[in-house]
C-alpha cells in the first residue's frame, strides 16, 4: 500500500475504503508551473489504488483502480454506497458505482487539464455529497474555492475570496465534513491553520483558528452533529512541527473539547474517518504509508448537560446498584460495635492507673494559685518520636495531552486558557490502537 490519500467507512457493510497512491509519490517535478501533471515521468499507477477491507479483521475484501489514477487524493462514500474520488493529477472528480468499478459513472472536470471555470478544476482535494446527489468540491490546491454541482455534474455555485480578511478566503481547502441535517459544511482550510463552517448556501457560520498547525482533515460522526473531529498534519509553511492529534470541537461555540495524541504512530496524517457512534477513528497516513485504527472506550461526550460544559466525561463500566437495606445494615453494625468500644476504654483506664500515669496532660502554675493543663507540651511530648506529617506529593502529571481551549470573541483558539483550573482539563484516559 502506498501513501494513503483518503479513507471512508461503509457503515452498512463494516468495511473501510482506502484510496492510496501505490508506487507514486508527489515529487517536486510532478507538476509543471501550469499545474499540468508530468505524465512522461509519472504514468498511471499500475497497482490497485482502492482497497476495501473489513474494519474488524483488516482482511482485504476487494481491490481495484489499477492503471486509472495519477495522484489519488480524496475519497467519499455517499448514502447510496457510491464511491467518489479526487485525482489531483487528472484534475477531476470521479464517481463509481459499488458494483461497477471499471468505469466511472460520472466525471467532472476535464481530464489532465487544470482550470478555474465551471468545467475545470485545479488539483481538487475532496468531495461532500448530499442525499439528492448534488455535491460540493474542495478545489483545492490551485483555485482555493468551494464549488457546488447538481447530481449530474452541472455547476450551481461557488464561493471564494482573494481578500485574506474575508471568511471565504481559502489557502488550500483540503477536506470537507458535511452534516446535511444540520445544514452544515465544514472546510479544513489547511494552510490558513483554521476550520471554516458554512451553511449549504455558502454563508459563513463560524471560523475556528488552530494553534496546532495546519488542519488536514475534518469529519462528523453521523449520530452527533455538534462535535467536529479534526486532525492536524505536516507543517510546510514554517520550520515548526506540532504533535499530531485528533481534536474534538464543539461546532456551535468553536471550543476545543479535547484532543487525542497520536504519539509516534501517524507522522504525516492526511485524512480521517469517524464511525457513526464515534467509537472508532481511522487515520490515513502518508509516511509511513498506513491506516491506523483507534478505539475510544469508557467515555461519553455530553454537550447538553450544564454541568459538563461540553467536556468528555469519564464513565465507569460498573453499574451502581442502589441497596435499600444499606442504611439499616449500618445502624446494626454501629449498635454491635458499642460494647467493644466500652471494653477498650475500660482496659486503657486500668492500664494507665496501674502504671501511675494520668490520661490528662500535666498541670502548669498560672501564677495566681491555679493550675491549667499544658496541652501543647503534652502533645509535643507524646509525638516526639512520631513521623512529622505526610510528605508532599508531586502532582505534576506526565501526561499533558489534555487541551483546555476556548474561543475568544474573535474566533481564535488558544492552546491554553489561564482562566480555567487544572480540574477542568480534559483527558481521554483510555485509548487503544488496533
- What is the pLDDT, as a whole number, of residue 403? 30
Distance CA 18, CA 49 (A): 8
Domain-embedded: residue 161 = yes
Determine the distance from the C-alpha atom of residue 215 to the mean position of all C-alpha atoms in its chain, rounded to a whole number: 11
Residue 210 or residue 348, greater confidence: 210
Q: Which of the two residues, 13 and 75, has the higher pLDDT score?
A: 75
Please give the pLDDT value at position 356.
57
392 in a domain, yes or no?
Answer: no
pLDDT score for 266:
87
Question: Residue 288: is the preceding peptide bond cis (ω within 30°)?
Answer: yes
Note the pLDDT of residue 165: 82
Is 397 among the domain residues? no
Note whether residue 333 is domain-resident: no
Which carries the bigger pLDDT value, residue 401 or residue 15?
15
Residue 306 pLDDT: 36
The confidence score (pLDDT) of residue 297 equals 72
- DSSP 8-state code for residue 38: -
For the record, the C-alpha cell of 371 comes out as 493550675
* Domain membership flag for residue 362: no
Q: Is residue 289 pLDDT above 70, yes or no?
A: yes
Q: Is residue 363 part of a domain?
A: no
Residue 263: the pLDDT is 78
Higher pLDDT, 331 or 3: 3
Confidence of residue 296 (pLDDT cuts 50, 70, 90): confident
pLDDT band at 268 (very low <50, low <70, confident <90, very high): very high
- For residue 185, pLDDT beyond 80: yes
Cα separation, 173 vs 155, whole angstroms? 18
DSSP code per residue over 304-342: S-TTTTTPEEE--SSPP---TTHHHHHHHHHHHHHHHHH
Confidence of residue 343 (pLDDT cuts 50, 70, 90): low
pLDDT(317) > 70: no
The span from the first CA to the last CA of the chain, in angstroms, equals: 18
Estimate to the nearest angstrom the gap between the alpha carbon of 364 and the chain centroid: 69
What is the pLDDT, as a whole number, of residue 339?
A: 62
The overall average pLDDT reported for the chain is 77
Count the domains in the chain.
1
Taking the C-alpha atoms of residue 107 and residue 144, their distance in angstroms, rounded to an integer, is 20
pLDDT tens for residues 404-431?
222 333 344 444 333 332 223 333 333 4
Mean pLDDT of 387-414: 31
- What's the mean pLDDT in 181-197? 96
Q: Taking residues 262-266, what's their average pLDDT?
A: 83
Q: What is the pLDDT of residue 265?
A: 85
Task: Establish if 273 belongs to a structural domain.
Answer: yes
Please write the tens of the pLDDT for every residue from 83-93: 999 999 999 99
* Average of per-residue pLDDT across 119-146: 97
Check: CB of residue 292 under 8 Å from CB of residue 308: no
Residue 358 clears pLDDT 70, i.e. is over it: no
State yes or no: pLDDT of 62 exceeds 50.
Answer: yes
Of 147-161, 170-184, 293-307, give the lowest mean pLDDT range.
293-307
Q: 129: helix, coil or strand?
A: strand
pLDDT reading at 433 higher than 50:
no
Task: Record the pTM.
Answer: 0.71
H or E, element range at 112 = none
Q: Give pLDDT tens digits for 209-256.
A: 999 999 999 999 988 889 999 999 998 877 788 999 999 999 999 999
Q: How far apart are CA 37 and CA 33, in angstroms?
A: 10
Domain residue limits at 266: 4-314
pLDDT average, residue stretch 271-286: 94
In a domain, 107, yes or no: yes
What's the grid cell of residue 40? 512522461
Averaged pLDDT, 169-176: 97
At 225 the pLDDT is: 87
Tell me which of 29-38, 92-101, 140-149, 252-261 is least confident.
252-261
- CATH code (residue 104): 2.120.10.30
Q: pLDDT band for position 163 (50/70/90)?
A: confident
Alpha helices in 356-419 (DSSP H): 375-382
**Contact of 123 with 35, CB cutoff 8 Å:** yes
Region 293-315: mean pLDDT is 50
- Give the three cell numbers for residue 98: 459499488
Whether 394 shows a pLDDT value over 90: the answer reads no
Mean pLDDT of all residues in 280-287: 94
- Is the pLDDT score of 318 beyond 50? no
Amino acid at each position: 500500500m502506498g501513501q494513503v490519500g483518503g479513507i471512508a467507512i461503509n457503515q452498512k457493510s463494516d468495511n473501510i475504503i482506502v484510496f492510496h497512491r501505490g508506487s507514486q509519490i508527489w515529487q517536486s517535478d510532478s507538476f509543471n508551473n501550469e499545474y499540468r501533471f508530468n505524465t512522461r515521468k509519472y504514468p498511471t499507477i499500475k497497482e490497485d489504488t482502492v482497497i476495501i477491507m473489513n474494519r474488524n479483521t483488516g482482511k482485504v475484501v476487494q481491490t481495484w483502480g489499477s492503471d486509472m489514477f495519477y495522484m489519488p487524493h480524496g475519497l467519499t462514500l455517499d448514502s447510496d454506497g457510491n464511491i467518489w474520488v479526487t485525482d489531483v493529477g487528472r484534475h477531476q472528480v470521479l464517481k463509481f458505482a459499488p458494483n461497477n468499478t471499471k468505469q466511472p459513472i460520472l466525471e467532472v472536470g476535464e481530464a489532465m487539464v487544470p482550470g478555474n471555470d465551471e468545467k475545470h478544476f485545479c488539483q481538487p482535494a475532496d468531495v461532500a455529497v448530499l442525499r439528492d446527489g448534488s455535491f460540493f468540491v474542495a478545489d483545492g490546491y490551485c483555485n482555493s474555492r468551494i464549488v457546488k454541482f447538481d447530481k449530474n455534474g452541472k455547476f450551481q455555485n461557488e464561493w471564494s475570496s482573494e481578500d485574506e480578511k474575508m471568511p471565504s478566503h481559502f489557502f488550500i481547502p483540503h477536506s470537507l465534513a458535511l452534516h446535511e441535517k444540520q445544514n452544515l459544511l465544514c472546510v479544513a482550510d489547511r494552510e490558513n491553520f483554521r476550520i471554516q463552517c458554512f451553511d449549504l448556501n455558502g454563508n459563513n457560520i463560524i471560523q475556528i483558528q488552530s494553534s496546532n498547525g495546519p488542519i488536514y482533515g475534518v469529519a462528523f460522526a453521523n449520530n452527533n452533529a455538534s462535535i467536529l473531529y479534526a486532525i492536524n498534519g505536516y507543517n510546510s509553511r514554517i520550520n515548526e512541527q506540532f504533535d499530531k492529534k485528533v481534536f474534538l470541537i464543539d461546532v456551535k461555540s468553536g471550543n476545543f473539547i479535547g484532543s487525542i495524541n497520536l504519539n509516534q504512530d501517524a507522522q504525516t496524517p492526511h485524512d480521517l474517518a469517524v464511525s457513526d457512534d464515534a467509537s472508532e477513528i481511522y487515520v490515513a497516513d502518508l509516511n509511513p504509508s498506513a491506516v491506523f485504527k483507534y478505539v475510544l472506550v469508557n467515555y461519553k461526550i455530553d454537550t447538553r448537560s450544564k454541568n459538563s460544559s461540553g467536556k468528555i466525561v469519564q464513565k465507569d463500566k460498573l453499574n451502581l446498584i442502589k441497596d435499600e437495606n444499606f442504611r439499616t445494615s449500618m445502624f446494626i453494625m454501629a449498635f454491635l460495635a458499642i460494647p467493644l468500644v466500652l471494653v477498650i476504654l475500660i482496659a486503657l483506664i486500668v492500664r494507665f492507673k496501674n502504671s501511675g500515669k494520668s490520661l490528662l496532660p500535666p498541670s502548669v502554675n498560672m501564677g495566681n494559685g491555679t493550675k491549667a493543663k499544658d496541652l501543647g507540651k503534652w502533645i509535643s511530648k507524646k509525638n516526639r518520636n512520631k513521623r512529622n506529617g505526610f510528605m508532599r506529593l508531586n502532582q505534576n502529571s506526565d501526561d499533558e495531552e489534555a487541551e483546555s481551549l476556548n474561543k475568544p470573541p474573535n474566533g481564535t483558539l488558544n492552546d491554553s486558557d489561564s482562566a480555567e483550573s487544572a480540574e477542568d482539563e480534559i483527558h481521554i484516559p483510555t485509548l487503544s490502537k488496533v
